[in-house]
Structure 1
């Protein structure tokens, strides 16, 4: 059996209650603090986490439920969550539900069973209204990242997808483009709806033509972008293409180049996400950067306010993305 707080107290010549206060972050006299730190180091003391949980009635753990833990977009979000969790003295456990979409809501059992103090659910897929209503009705610390179904009374954080695409269309308009096509994303992803909304509404606001024949679907893969832009290339009047993801844009870029056209001389193209390879393709891709780390931090901060019992307004927070201008767009005279 390892050293106990009784051993630490004896070596530091103080009481067990003083050791306990110090270990729980409370103030003690400077001389006492120095003696305690010396005793802890000499004894190689580690506090008993289970005992602490029993005393404090907390697990000091939050659950991070992710739809696909291999998705590169989630790494920045995870870093943001971990940063805030560390500042609050909490550990994170990560759970993936890739194999069965219907099971996201089942992770609420971790809260009901007292295995975690709070849960952050991370997914950019569309959530069912049934599941969202269960989340709203649960009287536990829960934060959503991604889709909240536009329901009131749910604490969620996401990127303002419509605003990101609006910035892109405004930029293309500013450099002279008037015939702007669009490659949409999969319907299963909530962002697809808002990105298309940003495209269509901004065209209307600028007085530009919206032509359904200039809108094609993709699955947000390189192959999808390569295939989907074929019909747009037949429209000689189109001078620019907004792809709703970088993967789509990169596939489309290749197809444009293979058709004998030059980017941006003959056609401009823009993506969304700012994945690493976007700055390495030729020409480098103009795109929209998502504030993934800030999304994770805001969700975690809201969750910890709930855990602390503070009044937290249950509403959706949309963070503004950033337009990154590179070389894939040309100015029209």
Structure 2
């Protein structure tokens, strides 16, 4: 089999020394005319750098991993769409890993950073932080950025949102429309978003002077089918005039259930989701939703990681992306 171009053949074509070719291909300071000659010769010969050799020389893989609970969830898809171009522009590949929300899997991802499968990690834990998480984060052999709230004084770069404020914005909107029986469809309470949004719902009701009614609350999971089942269970025992859903997938399931129950949206039941994913505009009626800045959180996490790769000694940073309410047809016509 014919041998591909090497630094020797490139040197011969460019009319420069092998040492000069090596310096150019490894990004070391070299005269501009030498760089032009070497790069032109490399292009003519179809030279492709050996990534494995480059990795060994630099002690870098030029890969960054992103570990998330569900690779198919539109929230994480929005993050990936922002993370990848930021990393690609800096010369890094993005490797995706779905943990399925399993704590042991998350811990394994952190432990294996020592195997140098990636130069850094962006991780979004679903079920909170066990002491093992915190220990591994503190001693991580490679930079880690966490998307999601972390305990105070955790020595890690962190991008978070304020879902409590997001819930308050949603309930104030529904209250302003005259809705007083506002139900809540949540995900599992042993997850970070489930716990935070449950507490925020209770607080927001109290701030509006509305009583907490357990018959208006149902817990399921962060999926469309689970949202539909949760909505049916809630509707069997109560008739709310509005529903807040802990994410857009649950809201789509609720919309399915409301149709089956012959209830109109928004005339009979106003409906609000959270995350403001692409699903919100694809639904009919289009879905009012609380944007938690998923795309922005992904972009900022990638930027923090690149900064950390350049300066590992800098103090950890916290970035907070504020929520906004995006009003659409599922509440717009409510009165």
- For the residue of structure 2 that corresponds to 1:269, the secondary structure is strand
Q: Given the alignment of the two structures, is residue 192 of structure 1 paired with residue 163 of structure 2, yes or no? A: no
Change in CA separation of 1:319 and 1:31 when aligned onto 2, cut-off 3 Å: same
Match of 1:69 in 2: 71
The gaps in structure 1 that reach 5 residues or longer are: none
C-alpha distance 240-28 of structure 1, shift in aligned 2 (>3 A): same
Q: The residue matched to 2:171 in structure 1 has which SS? A: helix
CA contact (8 A) 1:2 1:45 kept: yes
Give the paired residue count: 332
Q: Is the 8 A contact 1:305 1:311 kept in 2?
A: no
Q: CA RMSD in A?
A: 2.9
User: Structure 2 regions of 5+ residues with no counterpart?
Assistant: none
1:1-333 equivalences in 2 (<5 Å): 1-25=3-27, 28-98=30-100, 101-146=103-148, 148-149=150-151, 152-229=154-231, 230-232=233-235, 234-235=237-238, 238-330=240-332
Secondary structure at 1:153 match in 2: coil
The alpha-carbon distance between structure 1 residues 192 and 33, as it changes in their structure 2 partners (threshold 3 A), is same
TM-score (norm 2): 0.85
| CA deviation profile, 1:271-330 (whole Å, cap 9, x unmatched) | 113344433333222112343332222222222222222444325433223322111115
Compute the displacement of 1:137 (Å).
Answer: 3.1
Moved more, 282-291 or 145-154: 145-154
CA distance in 2, matches of 1:296, 1:119: 12
What is the CA–CA distance in structure 2 between the aligned matches of 1:170 and 1:100, rounded to whole Å?
35
| Superposition TM-score, scaled by structure 1 size | 0.86
> 2: distance between equivalents of 1:106 and 1:247?
28
Deviation at 1:27, TM superposition (A): 6.0
- Asked whether the 8 Å contact 2:275–2:294 carries over to 1, the reply is no
Per the alignment, do residues 54 and 279 of structure 1 end up closer, same or farther by CA in structure 2, a change over 3 Å counting?
A: closer
Distance 1:184 1:98 in 2: 18
Q: Against the structure 1 CA distance between its residues 201 and 21, is the aligned structure 2 distance closer, same or farther, given a 3 Å change threshold?
A: farther
**Residue deviations 1:30-80 (CA, integer Å, cap 9, x gap):** 543432232011111122223323332322222333343344432222232
